[in-house]
Structure 1
């Protein structure tokens, strides 16, 4: 039986990946940091909380990483742990740098010192492209990060490649474009929208305050994208892969899809709030995942319209459940 260690296992991607690997017959370990915001609701939502063996540790604590690797003896390590909200990275640049940047070096060094044959996946991000240099971004597109989060991720991306080239380690990097699901945190714009749609429809909220609704992103379903992570570690050689849907959609269009699904007009509820504008905006991202399709055989399966409807349905159910509990 193969074993895998997932950092960030309680996050959206970590939970979906854990379920995917369990279905593949893996023994799954999850690294959890003891922070006040840590919850297990996503693992519980997918009904896998009891199947994942949790190990306390932190990307900023080297000794705990060594300990976690000795406990789990993983064939594969998936590094999904990060301070992952772009907006927060301007308020907490040092935390973001330490966790999302230096933390990756800690983990790579821990692998090198314990078993450098362990396969490693680094969660890179399309935010590294930032001020885009090409209309469509692929593995050859120059990077121009526009946030502390993206800068930290770029450091981690190149450090992963450097350990591969310096120590003959298997380190694959997935440059994933935006991927969403009902497990997304409410601080992310997609879930913020679907949660608001549900609450407005049920009469618990009157408006939705957003920033730049003309920003465009390449959105897909997180459940599809974790398969690409696994496929990268099944290859003979480690490499970098862009994972994307190949379609760019604005926040405005997302609002239209979500509100229309419940019979409402988004223009009646959206309020543009300057406090949500970013200091340095990334206006548009559009990925080309031809390499992943050719070498990994990976394709996105879930259409964005269907994804938004799935998320709205999940939030309608959540809001309705809360209302029922309040009345009981």
Structure 2
């Protein structure tokens, strides 16, 4: 990848190092969050699913066995799956983390229509397995649940912490379950458990099947003469797009707050998929309308027309505001994809969807 970042030096001697667990550490958000926590002196433990191939490309650059704390690597990976509650409990009891960030999920909305049961089990029930493991072992930690703007679905924007949910996909439904079970454990057991209701957030580390990365990668390939057309579905959907590194800082801030509560993170902006196409192709002096073709296969059975967030509460309580807005976001992603092509001499293929 063209992005590079190194973890900061370990915390000062004599200062207790915080421990954090990140599920879904190999995904876009997990990798940026791991970087952030390492830069703050944390010892980070990532939970990854066992698979026949390694999917650690987003975090390989920060895994340094020499960067140690008390003789152990400051970034450690453990095989675990949200479908296995006993394994989660065993690892959490061993690690004794101060903070747990649940970012693992089947997070592709379109795929959730094809695999609704799997999505419900991992994205929904997986959360209660993790919360119950924390409760049963008596772990005193702060818990972050990655909620989603897809929970709002058909509810008219703008959407904030008080907006009713109306999910329009199996993914959105599963996230609603996770949201409410997190609140239930907070209220029933006094756990410091919060929901971060994050609107769409993107980066050069976004999986290639997500619409923004699909667009920016295609623009780079078309400009390089390696692709002729880009096939798309609904171009009129309105989204509030932000930059993933901004949003993981918001996650961390939520767990540093005095009281546990839920927050929306967004940019308060509204752009269509068509707008994002224009921003991306204009970066390379291309007219997107010459290269984009419609393909009904990319339509969802039920569409979410508009998601536009209101982050006023996060700004007031956490002091959080987004630094990168959609026009600049598209440029960052296009520039990264162009650099990737130039460095490799061939298209970079990333099949990850999480």
1:273 to 275, 295, 307: 295
- Provide structure 1 residue ranges, at least 5 long, that are not aligned to the other structure: none
Higher helix share: 1
Counterpart residue number, 1:293:
315
Is the 8 Å Cα contact of residues 128 and 153 (structure 1) preserved in structure 2?
A: yes
Residue 115 of structure 1: CA displacement?
Answer: 2.8
Counterpart residue number, 2:28:
12
1:126 to 142, 149, 161: 149
Is the 8 Å Cα contact of residues 158 and 309 (structure 2) preserved in structure 1?
A: yes
Counterpart residue number, 1:24:
40
Counterpart residue number, 1:92:
115
C-alpha distance in 1, partners of 2:330/2:192?
36
Q: Deviations over 1:226-257 (max 9, x none)?
A: 01101111112110101000001100000001
C-alpha distance in 2, partners of 1:123/1:323?
36
Is the 8 Å Cα contact of residues 231 and 292 (structure 2) preserved in structure 1?
A: yes
Counterpart residue number, 1:159:
181
Is the 8 Å Cα contact of residues 30 and 103 (structure 2) preserved in structure 1?
A: yes
C-alpha distance in 2, partners of 1:144/1:58?
28
Residue 70 of structure 1: CA displacement?
Answer: 2.1
C-alpha distance in 2, partners of 1:13/1:72?
22
Q: Deviations over 1:288-308 (max 9, x none)?
A: 010000000000011222211
C-alpha distance in 2, partners of 1:123/1:32?
16
1:209 to 231, 234, 251: 231
Residue 67 of structure 1: CA displacement?
Answer: 1.8
C-alpha distance in 1, partners of 2:293/2:52?
31
Is the 8 Å Cα contact of residues 31 and 68 (structure 1) preserved in structure 2?
A: no
How many pairs were matched up? 323
Is the 8 Å Cα contact of residues 164 and 170 (structure 1) preserved in structure 2?
A: yes
Counterpart residue number, 2:305:
283
Q: Deviations over 1:196-236 (max 9, x none)?
A: 00110101100000000110100000000001101111112
What does residue range 49-64 of structure 1 map to in structure 2 within 5 Å? 49-50=63-64, 51-64=74-87
TM-score normalised by the chain length of structure 1: 0.96
SS in 1 for 2:256: coil
Counterpart residue number, 1:146:
168
Could you say if the C-alpha distance between residues 165 and 275 of structure 1 is closer, same or farther in structure 2, counting changes exceeding 3 Å? same
Is the 8 Å Cα contact of residues 40 and 49 (structure 1) preserved in structure 2?
A: no
C-alpha distance in 1, partners of 2:182/2:54?
26
TM-score normalised by the chain length of structure 2: 0.89
Is the 8 Å Cα contact of residues 32 and 248 (structure 2) preserved in structure 1?
A: yes
C-alpha distance in 2, partners of 1:219/1:204?
27
SS in 2 for 1:78: strand
